[in-house]
Amino acid sequence: MMTKTLIPILFLCSAIAVYADDIEVSQDTLLQNLNYGETADRTITITNNTSSAVDLSITLVDQTWIPPLVQEPFQENLVVPDVPATLGFTTEHICGTPDPDPADALIADELVERWLEQQGRSSRSIVNVQIAWHVIYQDNGVGNLSDQQIAQQVTWLNTAFADHDFIFTLDIIDRTVNNDWFNDMRDTYDAIAKQALNIDSYHYMNVYTSNILVDGVAGYAYLPNQWTEGSYMHGIVLDYRVLSYAGGYDGDVAVHEAGHYLGLRHTFLNNCTTGNDQVDDTPAHHEDYLWQCNNNLDSCPDLPGNDPVHNYMTYTSNSCQWEFTPGQKDRMHAMVATYRPHMLENPVAPLWMTTADETVTVPANSTLDVDFTFDATNTYGGTYYGDVIFTAATPDTAITVSATLNITGFPEIGLNTTVLSFADTYINDTSAVSLEISNVGSDYLDISSFEFDYDYFFTEAQAASIPPSESEEITIYFIPDSIGSFSGIMTINSNDDDDPAVDVTLYGTGEESPLLLSFSSLIDTLAPNSVNSHLLTLSNTGNVSLDYQINHDIEWLTIISPENGAIPAFNTELIQFNVSTLFMNYGEYSGTIEIETSVGVFYLGVTIIVAGLNIDNDIAGIPHTFKVHNNFPNPFNPVTRVQIDVPESGHMQVAIFDVSGRLLNTFYNGNITPGYHNIKWDGKNNIGASVSSGVYILNVQLNGKHHSQKMLLVK
């Protein structure tokens, strides 16, 4: 079950910068608490102690929004990891982020500089980095971090990035029990786990926690230019013990890896060179002189500046790290704009604080009231941060007042109907209806799960988060296994306090089709340059004549019998068709025959395998490329088949996972010879038990290459 957690970000209050002591404000912070839909007015009194009137401009800036923290229930059996006092960036535990390819790095540097020249180094907006956090842990509970532990780490991220126009919003938390992924994430299962768990890499920073200190690595990530935007390989991986715990570790590993994720390199990259990390204000330093918190350390004496020992992107003790430079801030924003442009689509705060005054004049030796309106009528629940800046004509006279608005919102589920009726459906056929789920509240509606009391109703929809005033459409399916009436209940579980579990009643009727096919799928293995003939029986069980028309566009298949006709009541028709491998290469070929009738359209799936069979019942010959073919049939019941083209010898693993990442069955895990290999799955797990209807993931690994695809089992 996916759990979603929303947390606030703690900003440090802006300090008042008063350069003219004769100008004063009545308060340096504004704090307002409102329920959704309310407004409130606040006043700041400005005092002018001079003998001349003072003109002030008023600017409202950085109106950011952080969703609220959802308190999770106490987990009695949670295993809290021990945190060694010396854990973290030490000489024993380092960052596993790979260095950039020099050619790719050069291209990235040119694009970043071009963006900075075009946009200006001060021209940037706040970026909301939405987080999907994936907790990978052992079946004994080790590594199962609590929501509060994760929330504390995200708060630490926001503290570190508070002055750099990045906010981090914890939006999704899910949990996966997988001992292999937990203990061998970095070396073996990095791509597999990410592909199975990743959520929308275009808009989310996916975070994975597992046991990677076994490799001496505390965390790792990839730079934005090391994979294409949206690749499931993006994100950061952390050892589960390096989070920000109260009284324990301070969480800078996550800050360091987030820096990589946003485009920063190690400050010690390339040692004593002028282009170490391509940031002008981070002095070069040599990797042989790391781990030293010494302000006077200068490992590159021929280059300007002492070593940046306090920078988050170096290796020192965590207590010694506390800064990103202005140049690093510029680079992060340029890298995001260049390589992660979809992240700029993430929501930021609406305008929640206004004033009628853009400029005011404060009379000599007098005071003036300036009114501000806090507005919670067009917002989500959460905490909002901003600044009010009063600037005088004197260039160095500015006063900053920090503003905070806490809004109490609420999610509320809405459905377009609570009763769904399916069209009469033939046995083992599928019909579908849609349901619209709306959020009519003022805070995110988190759908955690869909539950059904009977297997003949199901949905492929997963957990989701629906913003206020938006909706999401899901599809529910009905598959009857017998003649008669069916009814069931679908329960939608969410964070709606008033209605945490909403029921939808489902009705459907199963009926026998008047047209029966002797088989619905065919797999035939042929030698090259050969022909096989097959007979398909069409049975009309109804009391009226049934017209039919056979259509297909398969080049290697020929209908021998008439392609159209009429089947008398209670009678049958034999359809003969041939499949030919003339002039065809080794491999697998699939197509579909469409049988159009007066009572509906029926489909026959046909697959041929062009092969000379070896003793392993695999296809002879050697393919040129690694390829995993689509499984056939799909959807399937009870058996589906997959061809895997293996161009070279090596190690191959073939496994089935459910959508939560749980391993169900391993077909093969060992050395493999080149060739065309075939597997079949009968819908059973590794102990021989049949699995339920739903979506499953086939994962194939070959010599470091990975492929995953979805398969739909219907019963």
Q: pLDDT tens digits, residue range 462-510?
A: 778 787 778 889 999 998 878 899 999 999 999 898 899 999 999 999 8
Quick one: pLDDT at residue 244?
Answer: 61
Considering the candidates 92, 113, 257, 648, report the single residue annotated as catalytic.
Answer: 257
Residue 14 clears pLDDT 50, i.e. is over it: no
DSSP letters along 5-59, please?
-----PPPPPPP--SSTTEEES-SEEEEEEETT-EEEEEEEEEE-SSS-EEEEEE
Q: Which two tokens stand for residue 168?
A: 């981090």
If you ran DSSP here, which 8-state letter would residue 613 be given? B
More confident residue, 663 or 264: 264
Residue 23 makes CB contacts below 8 A (sequence gap 6+) with: 46, 47, 48, 49, 50, 54, 56, 362, 390, 392, 397, 399
Q: Which two tokens stand for residue 268?
A: 């010690």
* Residue range 11-36: mean pLDDT, rounded: 67
More confident residue, 46 or 612: 46
Quick one: pLDDT at residue 5?
Answer: 29
CB 691 within 8 A of CB 713: yes
Q: Which two tokens stand for residue 531?
A: 């022909």
Residue 17 clears pLDDT 50, i.e. is over it: no
Residue 249 clears pLDDT 90, i.e. is over it: no
Buried b (16+ CB within 10 A) or exposed e, 669-684: eeebeebbbbbebebe
Quick one: pLDDT at residue 381?
Answer: 78
For this structure, is 257 an active site residue?
Answer: yes
Taking all residues of the chain, what is their mean pLDDT, rounded to a whole number? 81
